[in-house]
Amino acid sequence: MKALARVAQARGEPQISKVTVIQPRRVRKIAGALASYAGMTLLAAVFLFPLAFEFVGSIKPNDRVLAEGSSWRAFVPTSITFQNYAEAISRADLGHLFMNSVIITSSIVVGGLVVNSFFGYALARLPFRGRGLFVGIVIALIIIPFQALAVPLFFIMAQVQWLDTYQVQIVPFVASPFFTYLFYTFFLSIPKELIESARVDGAGPFTTFWRVVVPLARPVYATVAILSFLFAWGQLLWPVLVTRGPDVRPLTLGIAEFQNLPPIRWGDIMAVATIMTLPLLVIFVGFQDAFVRSVARTGIKG
């Protein structure tokens, strides 16, 4: 304000009019910000209450979760216990399920990053016969939803005796036309001259890819990693079909079964839910900015 007043003075403009022009605009701006905050806070409450209920429920004595479930007390830890966690971990064999989910998810994410980025790079920057056709096929394949394949694929997996294994939950999901396409469009945006100059310097295709292309493509790797992680970690339909026993079962199916396992104890169920949710939340808070930026740069927006 002071600075503005000084500028006005220097220009020889009457100060009063400047102030009267600025004042209502500032008021409007502050009012707008307040309205935004009010709206955002209200929405935040709607988005948070189920999660708050879940976290608080997990540290409450089991019998209070539903007893206090219908009032504001649902969100207040009236007394704190970790009994639910101890029970859930032993009753649901949580450590084992958690390891299964980690093995399956990390294999899909890492394998997918390698396979899809290699394929995307070949389609974008390595000339070979039939490349255009392959690009067309990959784009066409994006539209086939996995659900439409689930039953025939399940039948094939049963034929080759892959049911109840880790690989049946990993190998079919490594290659993805959608992720290949994301890599492909991103690699197209890398200037050809960069790749050419690396080649002139004597680097082969693999060295060029590894030293020049991959470092430039971090945003798309980050986006694909996060999206494939969310997808793999959350899968339910496929494990329902291909796992019969708890040996290789992931957490998602574990919790779906556990919620109906007598004796039904809501505190335990909330503990399992929290164990599945909290790690992802913590990771995301750390990566949030990178994620938003990389989605923007990847071209998911079309």
Q: Is 289 a binder of other proteins (CB under 8 A)?
A: yes
Distance CA 29, CA 21 (A): 13
From candidates 84, 180, 228, 243, binder to other proteins by CB under 8 A:
180
Question: Cα–chain-centroid distance for residue 127?
Answer: 33
From candidates 8, 22, 51, 216, binder to other proteins by CB under 8 A:
51
Please identify, using beta-carbon distances, which residue of 6 and 131 lies nearer to other proteins. 131
Binding span for other proteins by CB under 8 A among 83-91, 102-110, 190-198, 279-287 = 279-287
Binding span for other proteins by CB under 8 A among 1-9, 13-21, 170-178, 189-197 = 170-178
Q: Is 116 a binder of other proteins (CB under 8 A)?
A: yes
Of residues 66 through 95, those in contact with other proteins by CB under 8 A are: 66-67, 69-71, 74
Question: Cα–chain-centroid distance for residue 162?
Answer: 28
Concatenated DSSP letters of 34-48: HHHHHHHHHHHHHHH
Say what the alpha-carbon torsion angle 253, 256, 258, 260 is, to the nearest 10 degrees. Answer: -140
Q: Are 301 and 295 in contact (CB under 8 A)?
A: yes
Distance CA 275, CA 182 (A): 32
Q: Is 115 a binder of other proteins (CB under 8 A)?
A: yes
Q: How far is the CB of 2 from other proteins (least distance, A)?
A: 22
Binding mask 185-214 vs other proteins (x if CB under 8 A, - otherwise)? -------------------xxx--x-----
Task: Please name the residue ranges forming H helices in 92-163.
Answer: 94-125, 131-142, 146-159
Q: Is 295 a binder of other proteins (CB under 8 A)?
A: yes
Give the residue carrying structure tokens 């990693």.
Answer: 225
Q: How far is the CB of 186 from other proteins (least distance, A)?
A: 14
Give the residue carrying structure tokens 């988005």.
Answer: 47
Q: Is 14 a binder of other proteins (CB under 8 A)?
A: no
- Let me know the angle formed at the C-alpha of 85 by 244 and 260, rounded to the nearest 5 degrees: 40
The neighbour count for residue 109, using CB atoms within 10 Å, is: 21
From candidates 98, 181, 187, 266, binder to other proteins by CB under 8 A:
266
Please identify, using beta-carbon distances, which residue of 15 and 78 lies nearer to other proteins. 78
Binding mask 210-239 vs other proteins (x if CB under 8 A, - otherwise)? --------------------x--xx-xx--
Q: Is 256 a binder of other proteins (CB under 8 A)?
A: yes
Of residues 27 through 46, those in contact with other proteins by CB under 8 A are: 33, 36-37, 39-40, 43-44, 46
Please identify, using beta-carbon distances, which residue of 74 and 104 lies nearer to other proteins. 74
Please identify, using beta-carbon distances, which residue of 81 and 259 lies nearer to other proteins. 259
Q: How far is the CB of 83 from other proteins (least distance, A)?
A: 18
Distance CA 300, CA 10 (A): 50
Across the chain, how many H-helices and E-strands are there?
16, 0
From candidates 94, 97, 174, 213, binder to other proteins by CB under 8 A:
174
Q: Is 107 a binder of other proteins (CB under 8 A)?
A: no
- Let me know the angle formed at the C-alpha of 134 by 128 and 138, rounded to the nearest 5 degrees: 145
Q: Are 202 and 280 in contact (CB under 8 A)?
A: no
* Distant-in-sequence, close-in-space partners of 278: CB < 8 Å, separation ≥ 6: 55
